[in-house]
Amino acid sequence: MAIEVKRIGVVGAGAMGTGIAHVAALAGYDVRLTDAKADRLKAAVGEIDRNMSRQAAKGTITAEQMAQAFKRIKSGPGFEQFKDCDLVIEAATENEAVKKEILQGLSKVLPPHAIIATNTSSIPITRLATATDRPAKFMGMHFMNPVPLMELVELIRGLATDQETYETVRAITVRMGKTPAAAEDFPAFIVNRILLPMINEAVYALYEGVGGVDAIDTAMRLGTHHPMGPLELADFIGLDVCLSVMQVLYEGLADSKYRPCPLLVKYVEAGWLGRKTGRGFYDYSTEKPTPTR
């Protein structure tokens, strides 16, 4: 049986955390948002305002819904603000050590009934649960990017996750207007288990000279009706995130078909991480992004 949740905390004010705070507030939850960087928090509030304004302009939400939702969001430093939260969603960078440190910190301040969820896109839930004091009240809640627009949330139970926790998180997902999909606790779950090897294969095609950036993306957009080519999508996701997921797959499943392409590794080492750094498989300093190979 699901328990009632009124207040949701979000750790991480990057694209994912900002989007999660946005949809949670629109769904009627009081939201507490934090980030290790104060400037990131300020930027996140501005992004939520702009994104909600866009929705209001399109008629997706009313001006009144926007005003009420925006009032429900409070941001600030530290975990103390989560001491009366019923659910906290960790949406920090895709780094296991960072996530475990956050989970340990949350466990010290949250009330005993509170659920912790992680937005990890690939790290095993059962392993992350060991960093908390409540493995039964811990699970994966993997949103897609951009959160306000994408309809899916993968729900992943760890070995110890209890039924009440799962049903509560599932009910919250539905209330946020998302469609839940249950995934088993295997590396990268469902979406990234399928998507990232496709992106990695596109990088291999580029690396081996099968086609250039533009040819590969055009072929996949027009040949399969994908809205973005795989290299453009990699830039959107972030090449560091793509590499991290491929490493989790390669190490977790011990299969050579998941070996990250050396060219992907090289781009990440160069700091060419895609849109967020202005350069990846495309150079974003020009009016129309220019392929870098």
Active site residue 51: no
Active site residue 80: no
Burial category of 84 from C-beta neighbours within 10 Å (exposed 0-12, middle 13-18, buried 19 and up): middle
- Name the catalytic one among 51, 142, 232, 244: 142
Contacts of 278 (CB under 8 A, 6+ apart): 284, 285
Give the Cα separation of 91 and 237 in Å (integer).
14
Give the Cα separation of 154 and 117 in Å (integer).
12
Q: 93-102: which pairs have CB atoms within 8 A and are 24 or more residues apart? A: 93/12, 93/14, 94/120, 94/121, 94/122, 94/123, 94/241, 94/244, 94/245, 95/244, 96/123, 96/127, 96/128, 99/123, 99/128, 99/131, 100/128, 100/131, 101/131, 102/11
Active site residue 113: no
State whether the Cα torsion 198-255-152-58 is positive or negative.
Answer: negative
- Name the catalytic one among 75, 122, 192, 200: 192
- Name the catalytic one among 51, 75, 119, 121: 121
- Name the catalytic one among 22, 90, 119, 154: 154
Active site residue 192: yes
User: Mapping DSSP to helix (H, G, I), strand (E, B) and coil, where does residue 227 land?
Assistant: coil
Which amino acids are annotated catalytic?
121, 142, 154, 192
